[in-house]
Structure 1
Amino acid sequence: MSTFDERARQRRTWLAALALAALRPGAARAAPIVGYHGGRVTPSVPVPDVPVRTADGRATRLHTLLNGRVSALQLFFTGCSSTCPIQGAVFQRVQGLLGSNRHRDVQLLSLSISPLEDTPARMRAWLARFHAGPGWIAAAPELRDVDVLQALFGGGLTGLDNHSTQVQVIDRRGMLIWRTYELPSAESVADILRRA
């Protein structure tokens, strides 16, 4: 089955579920569900303010990195040889698509899920591999915070060898507002960032 067919099937399933949910008593009062499927996250979800270390070795907090910027965030780890290089190539292409028209308040953030292995030097090498320019940063949380970050950004997946390939879009207030589908195109990510 092609990716297009799979996405069409997923959309039909979601629409049918929404139609059935709308028919049940009290549906108008039901709180929106924050799912892992692609699309707008309603209501938006606050991103945890956890300590992180950036690729330049600076200790800071995640909110400090996100504050005042629209951010596209991807989970990765430098030792990954399967999906992470694809994700890096997507961000490399997004960077090119946004080009000189990229505003200072838009950034790309690669967030490690392997903080014990992903030292600042390894994260710098990873960024260099994809020719990261200004506005694309990498950071690693403390080990104790990986689970909470994967719970929010991980698409329901956990572990190094089974992490999400979604791109999360976070607004200027540090609120998660959008999730892409798995392995999104660079064009779709750039488009979301332009509209956010």
Structure 2
Amino acid sequence: MSVLDEHARRRRAWLTAALALTALRPGSAPAVPIVGYHGGRVTPPVPVPDVPVHTADGRATRLHALLNGRVTALQLFFTGCSSTCPIQGAVFQRVQGLLGPRGHPDVQLLSLSISPLEDTPARMRAWLARFDARPGWIAAAPELKDVDVLQALFGGGLTGLDNHSTQVQIVDRAGALIWRTYELPSAESVADILRRA
């Protein structure tokens, strides 16, 4: 096991324990269910919070309206990121290519912002354009008050711009989290999971 693998294992163990303690603290805010952050199937599936979002095309809607009826590969990002987010964008760009020129009507890619104050529809559109996003790849930003609950579920429980996960989350047609990849997955592995989901 490499030093990086050992560091990631310890970080996940510490985070799981910290989240468990937070969830048990009297008077603490309701939390999303604690889910292991390693890659693989999420059993049982965990419903995704139905929070308000604004899409890159300027629509105000709810997260479930974006998710329902489609298998969704979801990544956390923010447009001002210069480290891992461009890599994640390139992975989704490659996933679109692997799914074919027409994609699949019941499969979509969703880049979900963790910086809603900065990630306006115009900035999210520019970010998608940077990766030649085609129909079937959308971006959305929640309200600021909902970022922490989304990061708790999708981001390994870490908060703050510098602490977002590089995993890809797979959400089923009913809006439940069913799978999460390992950190910075290959496009081939994401496309394969989407085809099988």
Per the normalisation by structure 1, the TM-score is 0.84
Partner of 2:104: 103
CA deviation map 1:110-163 (0-9, x unaligned): 000000000000000000000000000000000000000000000232210121
Distance (Å, rounded) in 2 between the aligned partners of 1:163 and 1:130: 20
Partner of 2:169: 168
Partner of 1:65: 66
Per-residue deviation at 1:100? 3.3
Per the normalisation by structure 2, the TM-score is 0.83
Distance (Å, rounded) in 1 between the aligned partners of 2:87 and 2:35: 26
Distance (Å, rounded) in 2 between the aligned partners of 1:78 and 1:53: 15
Q: CA RMSD in A?
A: 2.0
Partner of 1:180: 181
Partner of 1:45: 46
Identity of aligned residues (%): 87
SS at match of 1:100: coil
Distance (Å, rounded) in 2 between the aligned partners of 1:143 and 1:101: 34
Per-residue deviation at 1:99? 1.1
Unaligned runs of 5+ in 1: 15-32
Per-residue deviation at 1:81? 0.2
- The count of residues paired between Structure 1 and Structure 2 equals 173
Q: Within 5 Å, which residues of 2 pair with 1:119-138?
A: 119-138=120-139
* Counterpart residue type for residue 150 of structure 1: Q
Is 1:89–1:130's contact at 8 Å kept on the other side of the alignment?
Answer: yes
Partner of 2:20: none
Distance (Å, rounded) in 2 between the aligned partners of 1:6 and 1:115: 31
SS at match of 2:45: strand
Is 1:155–1:166's contact at 8 Å kept on the other side of the alignment?
Answer: no
SS at match of 2:100: helix
Distance (Å, rounded) in 2 between the aligned partners of 1:91 and 1:2: 27
Unaligned runs of 5+ in 2: 14-33
Q: Which has the larger radius of gyration?
A: 1
Partner of 2:155: 154
